[in-house]
A and B are shown apart, each in its own frame.
Chain A
Amino acid sequence: MTGSDKVRILAIESSCDETAAAVVVNGREVLSNVISTQIPIHTLYGGVVPEIASRKHIERVNQVVKEALKEANTTLDEIDAIGVTYGPGLVGALLVGLSAAKAIAWAKDIPLVGVHHIEGHICANYIEDIHLEPPFMCLVVSGGHTHLVNVADYGKYEILGRTRDDAAGEAFDKVARAIGLGYPGGPKVEVKAKEGNPHAIKFPVAKVDDGVYDFSFSGLKSAVLNYINGAQMKGETINEADIAASFQQAVIDALVGNAMKAIDEYGTTKFAIAGGVASNKTLSAALEKACQEKGVEFYHPAPILCTDNAAMIGAAAYYEYINGRRDGWDLNAIPNLVLGER
């Protein structure tokens, strides 16, 4: 124990292709935030290969944890709790960070706190703006997730909408591949879109009938692929920049549209975004503008807190920790863990 009212949490995250560890004080102050990315390896395969991701986590996990402790100028003896992502994510990948976190916590008799990955993304906003407090609404957009969440209180979440098929980031990856941009698609589409006209091509975004705030991006992705195929059959050259820009605009319209509808319905005064796709500046700017028009305060984390990282897990773990959550040594990885469920 640190022997003060400061809670110092070591957090570990390995749900996808980043091995990450961080030390966070009171859920808000980041002492270190170490991320070891595997992107160069997975680029060879055009996307994340789960088995390779899991193996790479094993190779890096100790070094990343040690680096996080060293950078934070602390030791395990000064750590009050260990927070770790236990879902959702790739099960093999999750198991590495989780098993290591459990082992360290067990060996040093440190309390263990399991964290939901999406909760971590949301809590990245607590680090970015130390004055942000619930209630607020949050749009989580990443390679694996698209969630519109009402954050009622610390650790209390109501999912208003989610994707019925592809996550927004997944659609970016698939479109990037189709127009030859490669992996990871998000940043590459965004750069390409800057050269194009977002209104050049009208790509339809499916409306989800019964779930008011749900999303569907699989139809949009197919529309893009059909457009490319159609052009190729007619022997026309395609304009990648226009496709990228128009596709991105369609995604943004869908995200902003549902978000604004929910803001009106719930009378929200604070709106945040989170997740890897949240670092897309065009999306962020569109949401900020729409929020401003409604007089809603807009929050967005810095890119380093948008991507998968452990600082956000440390922030989420802190609020779980002070709410009394402690996990046992039998904590298992849950690849399809639902936000707000244990």
Chain B
Amino acid sequence: MKILGIESSGLVASVAVYENGIIQGAFTTNFKKTHSQTLLPMLDVLKDTLNLDLDTVDAIAVAAGPGSFTGLRIGSATAKGIGLAIDKPLIAVPTLEAMAYGLWGNDGLVCPMMDARRNQVFTAIYKFENGQMEVVKEQCPMDINELIEELNSRDSQITFLGDGAVVQHNTIEEKCQVPHLFAPAHLSNQSAASLCARAAIYYEQGKTVSADDFRPDYLRLSQAERERAERLKQE
């Protein structure tokens, strides 16, 4: 089983090829160029390096959100386009789940977070039991203070990762009362390798989605939709 992984939900652009339990190649950058300029050239390098025949790919894994709206769009449209071209399905892996999977086997709770501005983070809580990943809290947008309160009440060691953990580092240090750690650089960010490894499990469980139907889960309405909903509520 061969999976092509695409991760562009945040600042990181990352692509990987997974085959039967092996990451054949992975290419990750965290640079100021837009994903529109980096993602496909990176895929092209990977394809050439691995002599990859796209027709042998069984599915395309994609970080399905949350994330930067623009980043999600570029990754999603790219994955959908490849899926259309090679007539293969997509594997939609929740962004934060793929991030946390990089800390497989970790003791205690794993709490990935992406900065969502105005003291909000996109976050979720996971744990690993006997090598299985379990969702403790589904991914959602959340105020950082509320999140820390919830974590304090859980009374378990926590490992934080993601760019949100960097932005909120001081707040976490100040308010988090349970033992906690910050993942090191190589495990802290989005990675298509981790995405692919998680996606392989989805694929085995038959959890794929057609390239035509796939749409990312932004976890947030557009501003116009939020304002309209408010207005209708008031009327």
Contacts and interface: CB of A to CB of B under 8 A. Distances in A.
Interface of A: 44-45, 49, 51-52, 54-55, 57-59, 61-63, 65-66, 76, 91-92, 95-104, 106-108, 328-333
B211 interface: yes
Nearest to B8: A99
A331 B44 CA distance: 14
Interface residues of B, number: 34
Contact of B225 (A52, A101, A107): A52
A57 B81 CA distance: 13
A333 B44 contact: no
B212 interface: yes
B80 interface: yes
A22 B53 CA distance: 28
B77 A51 contact: no
Contact of A58 (B76, B83, B223, B225): B76
B76 to A, nearest CB: 6
A99 B216 contact: no
A103 B38 CA distance: 13
Nearest to A56: B215
Contacts of A91: 70
Interface string B129-170: 000000000000000000000000000000000000000000
A97 to B, nearest CB: 8
Contacts of B216: 58
Contacts of A45: 224, 228
A95 B69 contact: no
Interface of B: 34, 36-38, 40-41, 43-44, 54, 69-70, 73-74, 76-86, 211-212, 215-216, 218, 222-225, 228
A63 B210 CA distance: 11
Contacts of A62: 80-81, 83-84, 211-212
A59 B82 contact: no
Given A49-B222, A51-B224, A76-B85, A103 B69 contact: no
B42 to A, nearest CB: 9
Contacts, number: 108
A328 B34 contact: no
B73 A96 contact: yes
A104 B41 contact: no
Contacts of B80: 58, 61-62, 100, 103
Which are the 4 A-B pairs with shortest beta-carbon distances?
A103-B81, A99-B77, A107-B85, A51-B222
B211 to A, nearest CB: 6
16 contacts: A45-B224, A51-B224, A52-B224, A57-B77, A58-B77, A61-B77, A62-B80, A76-B85, A91-B70, A92-B73, A95-B73, A99-B81, A102-B40, A329-B40, A330-B36, A333-B36
A121 B139 CA distance: 44
Given A329-B44, A330-B37, A103 B77 contact: yes
A209 to B, nearest CB: 38
A97 B163 CA distance: 29
B92 to A, nearest CB: 13
B154 to A, nearest CB: 34
A168 to B, nearest CB: 25
A82 to B, nearest CB: 10
